Chain A
Amino acid sequence: DAEITQSPRHKITETGRQVTLACHQTWNHNNMFWYRQDLGHGLRLIHYSYGVQDTNKGEVSDGYSVSRSNTEDLPLTLESAASSQTSVYFCASSEGSGGLETQYFGPGTRLLVL
């Protein structure tokens, strides 16, 4: 069955370190998204991509970057981790661009920055 996976599921890191969170989907979807979920803020869009070599900034993109070298993967990199980036990170994917399709979410990565 097609799916979307994230790794690691849990990560503890130190302030200032570079961290990369992986997202892999097997639906062959063009669109991929990264969100963070925090108490009091709900889910907020960090970065998104509509296809290979395409990346775009979302609502809370500062301190994060993504790259899309193939259809299946959209890794999220925290260039220099900060305590404010402690959160649960969700990756999602969808097909099409007309707003008619649902997004499928991965299981999430819990990140703690000490």
Chain B
Amino acid sequence: KQEVTQIPAALSVPEGENLVLNCSFTDSAIYNLQWFRQDPGKGLTSLLLIQSSQREQTSGRLNASLDKSSGRSTLYIAASQPGDSATYLCAVTAAGNKLTFGGGTRVLVKP
């Protein structure tokens, strides 16, 4: 059974500092890995999707890497802003487009 772990569970940084969020998974037979953002009381918004054949994906200040063989992904957010405060979830996709989620990392960026 696939297990996805995110460490740390919570993170607080001053504005301007780079954020590094970690995700690990136990079964490397994945189609892709996704990073989502969730604001309090809201649904999930997809940030980045990395196919299993890719090593990284970038969008603006966000960069996500994937090392499938070691079962790890890292989300980097450059020059953090208070608006980046949210919970970040990673999820891996198995056959049938079914997602297995990690528990999330709650991020607070202090002005």
User: Which of A's residues lie within 8 Å of B, judged by CB?
Assistant: 31, 33, 35, 40-45, 48, 50, 58, 90, 92, 94, 96-108
Chain B: interface residue total (CB-CB under 8 A): 27
Is B97 in contact with A101, judged by CB distance below 8 angstroms?
Answer: yes
Chain B, range 31-70, C-beta contacts under 8 Å to A: 31-32, 34, 36, 41-46, 49, 51
Is B96 in contact with A105, judged by CB distance below 8 angstroms?
Answer: no
Is A97 in contact with B97, judged by CB distance below 8 angstroms?
Answer: yes
Is B97 in contact with A31, judged by CB distance below 8 angstroms?
Answer: yes
In the complex, A33→B99 CA distance in Å? 10
User: Which of B's residues lie within 8 Å of A, judged by CB?
Assistant: 4, 31-32, 34, 36, 41-46, 49, 51, 89, 91, 93-104
Is A102 in contact with B49, judged by CB distance below 8 angstroms?
Answer: yes
In the complex, A77→B94 CA distance in Å? 26
Q: A43-B89, A96-B97, A99-B94 are in contact. List 9 more A-B contacts (CB 8 A).
A: A42-B4, A48-B96, A90-B44, A98-B31, A99-B97, A100-B32, A100-B51, A105-B36, A105-B45
